[in-house]
Amino acid sequence: MYNKNKPTWMLAAISTAMLSTLTLSACSDDSADAKAKSTATSEHVVINADPFPSTYEPIPAVATLITNATIIDGIGGLNTDSQILLQDGKIVGIGADISLPTKYIEIDGTGKFVTPGIIDTHSHLGVYPSPDTRSHADGNEMTSPVTAQVWAEHSVWPQDPGFQRALAGGVTSLQILPGSANLFGGRSVVLKNLPDRSVQDMKFPNAPYGIKMACGENPKRVYGKKGGPSTRMANVAGYRKAWIGAAEYKAKWDQYEADFAAGKDTKAPKRDLNNETLKGVLDGDIIVHMHCYRADEMVVMMDVMQEFDYQIGSFHHAVEGYKIADKLAQNNVCASMWADWWGFKLEAYDGIRENVAMVHQAGACAVVHSDSDIGIQRLNQEAAKAWSDGRRAGIDISKADAWQWLTANAAKSLGIFDQTGSLEVGKNADVVLWSADPFSTYAQAEKVFIDGGLAFDRTEPDTWPVSDFELGQIGEGDHK
């Protein structure tokens, strides 16, 4: 169960206040810092936890009222013939009692559905962009099995046309992960699906960082002839060795902080970017996203988690999640899964269609993810498949509950549920208006709002966003 030292991101993201504390620079002149300086001979060294800060700005928005629609709120509610008001970037009203501003536009949602914007917890858009060329394939630092020092955001190419395709599928936020060749692949980044000139323009404000880890076949295959690991047992030895090093690193910094606070003349430890990320996990600030297919490996990793006192946020792919769904629930670990991918490698051989529903049924946090620049475009259909497959197996889950797999649970696993992932008053207005029931193959995202701004309108082709790469190319602005 939850350890008191474990992070609290499942319930709330790192607060803005916390980030701003972390970003205090060494030359700060606020009074608390000045007081500290007066009792110590050295300056207080504080690591800037946010050296590439978000420069995201919502697109201009007008207050928008969607009426007469079926609203799936993403936390288990489904209301027919309802309405929702988006204003100043937030959801300000749902249902009958809405106080309307003086100026707003109204969209008739008759026959249509409204949901929270889809959040994909597993994407490589930007780091493995289209076109798929060696020159832009920047998703996997396959030079060492432990590369926690690399950050996916430094590989993201905002001109990947895949972002616009995902937007047309109703994706409003997404986590970009490094690949899975390494035991520790590096930091992930959570983005708003509004590409602009830089990755910082897309960064989801105040989203915690994640780290990609990987079980199984990939590390042993990639490093088997490059010094190891070449076996699963060496994979585990590799994680443990790294955590031992990270714990030592953390202890040094904790000692430094204690000594400094005590007024001792102390010197800050030397920075190490790899251990800095791992320490972030041990401190509960960085969420572990662990690529793992096999049930037995996931169970081993949950023991490693206990041994080093950190929390795995979610297993990714978790093709055998259904075999240990109870243990996922007990350990408070989410599983980000496909609906039906299987068999492309041996560790995916036991994939079944009911995986998502069975994990949900056991009380664990189930997420439907894509890991695909095609799949990300219709995650609603992936959830629909998982939902219907579950029902046919006797697992009775409502559509409203199933939608959690795409938004609320995804947001929880990314530590952004306080901001997005459900249609609740006060949440960011990340909203999709679907042409029909999104559990249907024929439904399409008709309008997609990000922070209340209309980011995609299927009915107005002239307004569709086009990446630099596609400008002047065949099919620019075509029906995609």
Partner 1 sequence: MKRLLTMFTLVGVVGVLGLSTSVLASQFAIVGGKVHTLTGQGTLAEATVLIKDGKVEQIIAGSTSPRGYERIDAAGKVVTPGFIGAYTALGLVEVGFSAGQVDASTTNHPVTTIGAAVDVSYGINADSTLIPITRMEGFTTAVTGIESSDYLFKGQGAVIQLMDNDPLLKARAFMALSVNNASASDTGGTRGTLWVALKQALSEAEYAIDTDLSPTQPWYGMISRADAKALGHVVQGHQPLLIKADRKADLLHIIALKEAFSNLNVAIISGSDAWRVADQLAAANIPVIVNPEYNLPGAFDTLGATLANAGRLDKAGVKVAIGIETHNIRLATQHAGNAVANGMSYDAALASLTKNVAEIFGIDQQVGSLAPGMRADVVVWSGDPLEVTEAAEHVFIAGEPIKMQSRQTLLRDRYLNLKQDKPMVYTRP
C-alpha 316/C-alpha 214 separation (Å) is 9
In Å, how far are 100, 426, 429 from 93, measured between CA atoms?
Answer: 9, 9, 11
Identify which range of 34-42, 70-78, 148-156, 388-396 contacts partner 1 by CB under 8 A.
388-396
Q: Smallest Cα–Cα separation from 75: which of 91, 51, 63?
A: 91
Binding mask 142-161 for partner 1 (x = CB under 8 A): -------------------x
Taken in order 297, 301, 302, 304, the sign of the CA dihedral is positive
The answer to whether 385 contacts partner 1 (rule: CB under 8 A) is: yes
38 or 459: CB nearest partner 1: 459
Alpha-carbon distance 323 to 303, whole Å?
17
Shortest Cβ 313–partner 1 spacing (Å): 23
User: Applying CB under 8 A, does 78 fall inside the site for partner 1?
Assistant: no
C-alpha distances (whole Å) from 131 to each of 106, 126, 140, 160, 188 are 39, 10, 17, 8, 21
Residue among 387, 403, 456, 464 that touches partner 1 (CB under 8 A): 387
The one-letter amino acid code at 368 reads V
Which has the closest alpha carbon to 319: 286, 288, 289, 297? 297
Is there binding between residue 374 and partner 1 (CB under 8 A)? yes
Select from 367, 261, 257, 239 the least CA-distant residue to 314.
367
The smaller minimum CB distance to partner 1, of residues 24 and 352, is found at 352
388 binds partner 1 (CB under 8 A): yes
Nearer to partner 1 by C-beta: 322 or 449? 322
| Positions 457 through 476 that interact with partner 1 (CB under 8 A) | 469-470, 473-475
Q: Which one of residues 31, 96, 225, 344 is an interface residue with partner 1 (CB under 8 A)?
A: 344
Which of 426/442 has CB closer to partner 1?
442
CB of 162 to partner 1, least distance (A): 6
Q: How big is the CA angle at 226 (ends 225 and 227), to the nearest 5 degrees?
A: 100
CB atoms within 10 A of CB 443: 19
Per DSSP, helices labelled H in 263-324 are 273-282, 295-307
Q: Which helix (H) or strand (E) holds 312?
A: strand 312-317
Q: Using the rule CB under 8 A, is 345 a contact of partner 1?
A: yes
| Interaction mask 248-277, partner 1, x per CB under 8 A | ------------------------------
Residues in 407-466 at the binding interface with partner 1, rule: CB under 8 A: 439-444
Q: Which residues bind partner 1 (CB under 8 A)?
A: 130-133, 161-162, 165, 217, 221, 322-323, 325-326, 340-346, 349-354, 358, 362, 373-374, 377-378, 381, 384-385, 387-389, 392-394, 439-444, 469-470, 473-475, 478-480
